[in-house]
Amino acid sequence: MELTPEFKNNLLDLRRQIDEYLLKSAGASYPASLYQPINYFLEFGGKRLRPLLTLLSCKAVGADYRLALPAACAIELLHNFTLVHDDIMDQDSLRRGHPTVHTKWSESVAILTGDGLIGLAYRALMNTPAETLQQVTKIFTEGVIRVCEGQAIDKDFEERQQVSVEEYFDMIQKKTGELIAVSTEIGGIVGQGASAQVKALREFGEAIGRAFQIQDDLLDIVSSEEVLGKDLGSDLAQGKKTYIIIKLKELSSPEEWDNIQTILRQRRIDRPTLEKIKAIMTKNKVIETTVEQIRRDIHSAQNSLSSVFSPAQAEELMQFSLMILHRKY
Amino acid sequence: MELTPEFKNNLLDLRRQIDEYLLKSAGASYPASLYQPINYFLEFGGKRLRPLLTLLSCKAVGADYRLALPAACAIELLHNFTLVHDDIMDQDSLRRGHPTVHTKWSESVAILTGDGLIGLAYRALMNTPAETLQQVTKIFTEGVIRVCEGQAIDKDFEERQQVSVEEYFDMIQKKTGELIAVSTEIGGIVGQGASAQVKALREFGEAIGRAFQIQDDLLDIVSSEEVLGKDLGSDLAQGKKTYIIIKLKELSSPEEWDNIQTILRQRRIDRPTLEKIKAIMTKNKVIETTVEQIRRDIHSAQNSLSSVFSPAQAEELMQFSLMILHRKY
């Protein structure tokens, strides 16, 4: 299955509408110390994965996607809040090729920028049609809490030697999967889809979210800095427990793992170091195993859809799931 | 007008119900790195000024205050979010006599604690009766945004030499007044008060909020450390532009102000330094002027109420406003 030009053009058009709505949402100017960094960060662009999923999910249940534009943008604003605060906690200096907010301004400014984005997210959400607003606000709020829990668990893992794949899946379900599942679920609800459709959309989102996060972990190691727009190997350097790192430990010999640990203790990952680690990964088929897991998740996402939606209804979301599989950044 | 024992007992009872609801709201335990600091912070207690105002406002319009308990606690959770994040930005190490979250744990933990509190605040809010939930959520959300704006302006002022009283009033209206006005307004709305009543309650809250903040500024200088439970003179040390500091500048001679500036440039306020500054304040009647402003605001708050409510309806809020005037911490 190939991405059709119509689909690509359609996505570009939806993205344009999302970006417009986002910048309008953050359109205030006073105080500049709050709204300048908010606008700066939103203008980085980004994939707009979550709001696109909301709009496509709303279309999938047969409704006008414009009904879901406020909620879609609310989710993107919320996602941006998590990025700004995570960048402080992870001390990341680059995001999408630009200095992060706390690097360009200060930690205080970045804390407030994130806080302000939550407020703006809820303000946007309030423009959802009244019939579904209450249900949507509840799901959105549970998403906020879940994302904070996931980030706390992720930070806890950095201090631990041993994290199982099951614990990792639980963590990313909260940290990443939940908000993506909220995106598809809310799209279905705003479009007043049948409850089986909404349930299928949520399951689709959960599986896509998992695939997306594992892909993210993989790209941290195999992508190039220019394409990724952030420090390569930063997960490794911070002691993050990602899928690929957990699998690396599982599939390497004790000697190889000792070797990697010695390298990692230097807490500075340059290119030759990264190449050494990648050689051990290649030998033990860690990358293939990871790609295999991503494929399984995408497949399970597609199955959720096809059990409830007709091929025509599901087509755009199906294409979207393929895009995730093939993304380079 | 004296506070009656019945009123005091009634407040104690309401506070107990608020504390119960708050701890129930934060009752989750996993991950501990998120919920331990949240519970730690909520257990400091505090005055519970805002939720009490919400409940009393709901009673004032003749409704059962229990309808407003979720919204009241949502506002208190939101207030606690601002405290946790402000403590990081202001680098305050003590709050109500306890180490602040970022001091006891870390900045990352404190950022997430604040974020989590926002999520829990909205979750509590969602238990508001459906008839008024939508309106209440909108007002609450505008409050979130306003509070972030106020905090940004407050931080901006620290870098400025000159701030007018008008600019100060605008800043505290956003940073403190808004959330107190939201407390009384939402109490009236949940109780389904008439629109003139809701308007009067909001005005009451705005005026009380201003009085409260100016009182807070005053206590930073005239209170004792033991009573206040935080570093004395910390506003002065941080270059905060408070009402009392703006008035001190206005009412002092140029020589006296130069003198104060030299003292402040040391950025370390010990007791003898504070006494020197207090002597200049006493000479220029800065404290009297400040107390006078607080009285005026309390008076205007009371006028807002008495123009719409009968004395019996307004009585508890009237007593509450007196309590603010006489508080010591």
What contacts A287, CB < 8 A, 6 or more positions away?
Answer: A218, A222, A244, A281
Burial of B253 (0-12, 13-18, 19+ CB in 10 A): exposed
Q: Which region among B6-10, B102-106, B239-243 has the lowest average model confidence (pLDDT)?
A: B239-243
* Interval B256-268 mean pLDDT: 80
Q: Is-contact A270 A278, C-beta < 8 A?
A: no
Sign of the CA dihedral running B152, A76, B108, A93: negative
The nearest CA of chain A is from the CA of B59 a distance in Å of 26
* Interval B64-72 mean pLDDT: 98
Tens digits of residue pLDDT in A94-140: 998 899 999 999 999 999 999 999 999 999 999 999 999 999 999 99
Q: Can you give the pLDDT at residue B238?
A: 76
Give phi and psi for A158, each to the nearest 5. Answer: -60, -30
Q: Can you give the pLDDT at residue B268?
A: 67
Tens digits of residue pLDDT in A211-254: 999 998 888 877 755 555 555 567 777 778 889 889 999 999 99
Q: Is-contact A177 A149, C-beta < 8 A?
A: no
- Specify the DSSP element, H or E, that contains B98: strand B98-99
Distance CA B128, CA A297 (A): 39
What residues pair up with A99 in beta bridges, in sequence order?
A94
Domain map (residue ranges) of chain A: 20-52+61-127
Distance CA A321, CA A309 (A): 15
Q: Which CATH class is domain A20-52+61-127?
A: mainly alpha
Percent of chain B residues past pLDDT 70, beyond the cut: 95
Q: Which two tokens stand for residue A293?
A: 């897991």
Tens digits of residue pLDDT in A11-24: 999 999 999 999 99
* Among the partner residues A109, A118, A137, nearest to B126 by beta-carbon distance: A137
* Among the partner residues B85, B137, B144, nearest to A137 by beta-carbon distance: B137
* Among the partner residues B112, B130, B145, nearest to A120 by beta-carbon distance: B145
pLDDT bracket for residue B226 (50, 70, 90): low
Q: Which two tokens stand for residue A46?
A: 């980004």
Q: Can you give the pLDDT at residue B1?
A: 59
Amino acid at A41: F
Give the predicted TM-score (pTM) of the model: 0.94
Residue with token string 């504070």: B274
* CATH 1.10.600.10 matches B5-324: yes
- Is there a contact between B138 and A115 if contact means CB atoms under 8 Å apart? no
DSSP three-state, residue A282: helix
What residues pair up with B99 in beta bridges, in sequence order?
B94
- Is there a contact between A115 and B116 if contact means CB atoms under 8 Å apart? no
Which chain B residues are closer than 8 Å to A122 by Cβ?
Answer: 122, 137, 141, 144
Angle (CA) B254 B260 B265, round 5°: 125
- Specify the DSSP element, H or E, that contains A99: strand A98-99
pLDDT at B178 over 90: yes
Interface of A with B (CB under 8 A): 30-31, 33-34, 81, 85, 88-89, 107-109, 111-112, 114-116, 118-120, 122-123, 126, 130, 133-134, 137-138, 141-142, 144-145, 148-149, 151-153, 155-156
Q: Can you give the pLDDT at residue A267?
A: 61
Most confident of A158-172, B121-135, B259-273: B121-135
Compute how many other C-beta atoms are within 10 angstroms of the C-beta atom of residue B222.
16
Measured in whole angstroms, how far is the alpha carbon of residue B226 from the centre of its chain? 20
pLDDT at B240 over 70: yes
- Is there a contact between B120 and A145 if contact means CB atoms under 8 Å apart? yes
Percent of chain B residues past pLDDT 90, beyond the cut: 73
pLDDT bracket for residue B314 (50, 70, 90): very high
Which chain A residues are closer than 8 Å to B108 by Cβ?
Answer: 88-89, 155
Which of B105, B106, B108 to substitute to test the interface with A, most A CBs within 10 Å? B108
Number of residues that this document lists for chain B: 329
Which of B29, B115, B156 to substitute to test the interface with A, most A CBs within 10 Å? B115
Q: Which region among A102-116, B262-276, B307-321 has the lowest average model confidence (pLDDT)?
A: B262-276
DSSP letter string, B46-83: ---HHHHHHHHHHHHTTS-GGGGHHHHHHHHHHHHHHH
Size of interface A-B (CB pairs under 8 A): 118
* Interval B253-269 mean pLDDT: 82
Q: Is-contact A56 A320, C-beta < 8 A?
A: yes
Number of residues that this document lists for chain A: 329
Find the residue in A nearest to B170 (Cα): A31
pLDDT at B227 over 70: no
Which chain A residues are closer than 8 Å to B34 by Cβ?
Answer: 148-149, 152
Tell me which of A207 and A271 has the higher pLDDT. A207
- Is there a contact between A118 and B156 if contact means CB atoms under 8 Å apart? no
What residues pair up with B98 in beta bridges, in sequence order?
B95
Q: Is-contact A186 A54, C-beta < 8 A?
A: yes
Q: Which two tokens stand for residue A102?
A: 């706390």
Q: Can you give the pLDDT at residue A69?
A: 98
* Interval B263-290 mean pLDDT: 83
Interface of B with A (CB under 8 A): 30-31, 33-34, 81, 85, 88-89, 107-109, 111-112, 114-116, 118-120, 122-123, 126, 130, 133-134, 137-138, 141-142, 144-145, 148-149, 151-153, 155-156
Which chain A residues are closer than 8 Å to B141 by Cβ?
Answer: 119, 122-123, 126
Which chain A residues are closer than 8 Å to B111 by Cβ?
Answer: 85, 88-89, 111, 114
- Specify the DSSP element, H or E, that contains B261: helix B254-265
DSSP letter string, A149-207: HHHHHHHHHHT-S---HHHHHHHHIIIIIHHHHHHHHHHHHHTT--HHHHHHHHHHHHH
pLDDT bracket for residue A36 (50, 70, 90): very high
Distance CA B59, CA B207 (A): 20
Compute how many other C-beta atoms are within 10 angstroms of the C-beta atom of residue A96.
16
pLDDT bracket for residue B4 (50, 70, 90): confident
Which chain A residues are closer than 8 Å to B149 by Cβ?
Answer: 30-31, 34, 116
Rounded to the nearest integer, the mean pLDDT of chain A is 92
- Is there a contact between B33 and A155 if contact means CB atoms under 8 Å apart? yes
- Is there a contact between B144 and A119 if contact means CB atoms under 8 Å apart? yes
Which chain A residues are closer than 8 Å to B100 by Cβ?
Answer: none
Q: Which two tokens stand for residue A130?
A: 């009244």
Q: Is-contact B208 B53, C-beta < 8 A?
A: yes
- Is there a contact between B137 and A126 if contact means CB atoms under 8 Å apart? yes
Tens digits of residue pLDDT in A266-306: 766 777 887 888 889 899 999 999 999 999 999 999 999 99
Tens digits of residue pLDDT in A153-175: 999 998 888 899 999 999 999 99
pLDDT bracket for residue B229 (50, 70, 90): low
Q: Is-contact A20 A43, C-beta < 8 A?
A: no
Q: Can you give the pLDDT at residue B221?
A: 79
Rounded to the nearest integer, the mean pLDDT of chain B is 92
pLDDT bracket for residue B176 (50, 70, 90): very high
Q: Can you give the pLDDT at residue B236?
A: 75
Find the residue in A nearest to B128 (Cα): A134
Which chain A residues are closer than 8 Å to B155 by Cβ?
Answer: 33, 108-109, 112
DSSP state of B284: T
Which chain A residues are closer than 8 Å to B81 by Cβ?
Answer: 115
Q: Can you give the pLDDT at residue B276?
A: 84
Which chain A residues are closer than 8 Å to B133 by Cβ?
Answer: 134
Q: Can you give the pLDDT at residue A84?
A: 98
